[in-house]
């Protein structure tokens, strides 16, 4: 049974781990779920439900820290206390680890930000490497710090507490409903879900989008860009996480005008601001940073 005491216990363990100042300061979904199972006797389903409650109430951030080398569908996630003080301490911790790791490998010491810039040039070699995983944590921590600063009201202790109480109350109310009520609610949710999907379809299946989708395999991207314009082109491809494609277009100067680069830069800022709301975006954050770096170089 999930109650406030259990939720608080899991959260406090995450918070303590975050402050440990070690390479394992960000607990991962594999070892941490086992730890919670041994301490509180909860199964995986209960554990991940608690994690979801903490995430929804903005008590923690969740992001992918590693992907299985044998099965790409298996993701290992990390958990961070969504508090700016904790995040800044983690940035310091992983910045030091990154600098030390780089020095051990290359025999010289440079700043964490300089290491990130250097690693961006060899992104494919970073996947699941020790330095790559540390770099990913360092990047994500910086992004979460910016997110809290931009949306401060949703990360105050008052907001979090109110949201957590609301979520737990909703769960309690839901448990007390009759089976008939639950069936009705399920049907309503399905109706809303279908309506939402239909609305998304209407957005994507506009005549302009359908025309673009039909032409994209037969017309060079340069011409598509000229026909539909930079904003429409980027909206379509960012929705598909095609950051590598856009980076290639910047590198080959298909996208080269200053006004196009400025639009691209602005849209990348918008993309990054959605990192907490788009569960797939953290998987592409390195690609976003690589694209941003190339854009900034072109604008110099």
- Please provide the DSSP assignment of 47-60 as one string: HHHHHHHHHHTTSE
Question: Encoding tokens for residue 207?
Answer: 């005549």
Q: How far apart are CA 34 and CA 89, in angstroms?
A: 26
Residue-range domain boundaries for the chain: 4-169, 216-299
Q: Are 138 and 116 in contact (CB under 8 A)?
A: yes
Q: Which position has the token pair 């830069």?
A: 265
Q: What is the pLDDT of residue 274?
A: 76
Residue (of 19, 49, 14) closest to 32 by Cα position: 14
Asked if residues 68 and 76 have their Cβ atoms less than 8 Å apart, the reply is yes
Continuous segment of H or E residues that includes residue 79: strand 75-81
Return the structure tokens found at 163.
């949201």
CA–CA gap between residue 229 and residue 282 (Å, rounded):
27
- CA–CA separation, 63 vs 79, rounded Å? 7
260 φ, ψ (degrees, to nearest 5): -70, -40
Distance CA 184, CA 8 (A): 32
d(CA 88, CA 237): 33
Q: Which two tokens stand for residue 44?
A: 């995986």
Q: Cβ(78)–Cβ(28) under 8 Å?
A: yes
Give the per-residue pLDDT at 216. 67
Q: How far apart are CA 190 and CA 177, in angstroms?
A: 18
| 243, 290 contact by CB (below 8 A) | yes
Residues pairing with 63 in the sheet: 78
**Rg of the chain (C-alpha set):** 22
Q: What is the pLDDT along the chain (300 residues), one digit of tens a residue?
A: 789 999 999 999 999 999 999 999 999 999 999 999 999 999 988 999 999 999 999 999 998 887 655 555 567 899 999 999 999 999 999 999 999 999 998 999 999 999 988 887 766 566 667 888 899 899 999 999 999 998 899 999 999 999 999 989 887 776 665 444 444 434 543 444 444 445 444 445 566 666 666 666 667 777 777 777 888 888 888 888 889 889 988 988 888 888 888 889 888 888 887 776 777 887 788 788 888 888 888 887
Q: Which helix (H) or strand (E) holds 285?
A: helix 285-299
Tokens 């006797």: give the residue: 41
Q: Which pLDDT does position 221 carry in this prediction?
A: 74
As given in the structure block, the two tokens for residue 69 are 């080398």
> Residue 284: helix, strand or coil by DSSP?
helix
């609301």: which residue's tokens?
Answer: 166
First to last CA, the chain: 57
pLDDT (0 to 100) of residue 92: 96
Q: Which of 252, 263, 257, 261 is nearest to 221 (CA)?
A: 252
- As to burial, measured by CB atoms within 10 angstroms (0-12 exposed, 13-18 middle, 19+ buried), residue 77 is buried
Q: How many CB atoms lie within 10 A of CB 297?
A: 10
Q: How far apart are CA 29 and CA 183, in angstroms?
A: 32
pLDDT of residue 253: 87
């Amino acid at each position: 049974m999930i109650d406030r005491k259990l939720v608080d216990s899991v959260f406090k363990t995450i918070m303590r781990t975050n402050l440990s100042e070690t390479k394992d300061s960000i607990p991962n979904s594999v070892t941490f779920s086992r730890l919670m199972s041994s301490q509180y006797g909860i199964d995986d389903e209960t554990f991940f439900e608690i994690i979801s409650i903490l995430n929804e109430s903005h008590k923690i951030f969740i992001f992918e820290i590693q992907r299985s080398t044998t099965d790409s569908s298996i993701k290992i996630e990390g958990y961070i206390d969504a508090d700016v003080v904790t995040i800044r301490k983690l940035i310091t911790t992983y910045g030091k680890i990154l600098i030390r790791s780089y020095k051990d490998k290359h025999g010289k010491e440079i700043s964490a930000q300089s290491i990130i810039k250097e690693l961006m040039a060899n992104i494919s070699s970073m996947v699941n490497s020790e330095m790559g995983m540390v770099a990913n944590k360092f990047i994500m921590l910086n992004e979460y710090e910016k997110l809290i600063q931009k949306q401060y009201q949703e990360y105050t202790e008052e907001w979090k507490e109110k949201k957590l109480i609301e979520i737990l109350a909703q769960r309690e109310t839901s448990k007390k409903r009759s089976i008939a009520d639950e069936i009705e609610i399920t049907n309503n949710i399905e109706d809303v879900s279908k309506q939402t999907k239909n609305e998304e379809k209407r957005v994507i299946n506009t005549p302009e989008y359908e025309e673009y989708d039909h032409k994209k395999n037969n017309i060079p991207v340069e011409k598509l860009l000229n026909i539909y314009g930079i904003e429409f082109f980027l909206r379509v491809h960012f929705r598909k996480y095609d950051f590598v494609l856009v980076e290639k277009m910047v590198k080959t100067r298909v996208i080269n005008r200053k006004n196009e680069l400025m639009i691209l830069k602005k849209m990348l800022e918008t993309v990054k601001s959605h990192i907490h709301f788009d569960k797939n975006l953290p998987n592409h954050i390195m690609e976003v940073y690589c694209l941003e770096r190339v854009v900034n170089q072109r604008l110099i």
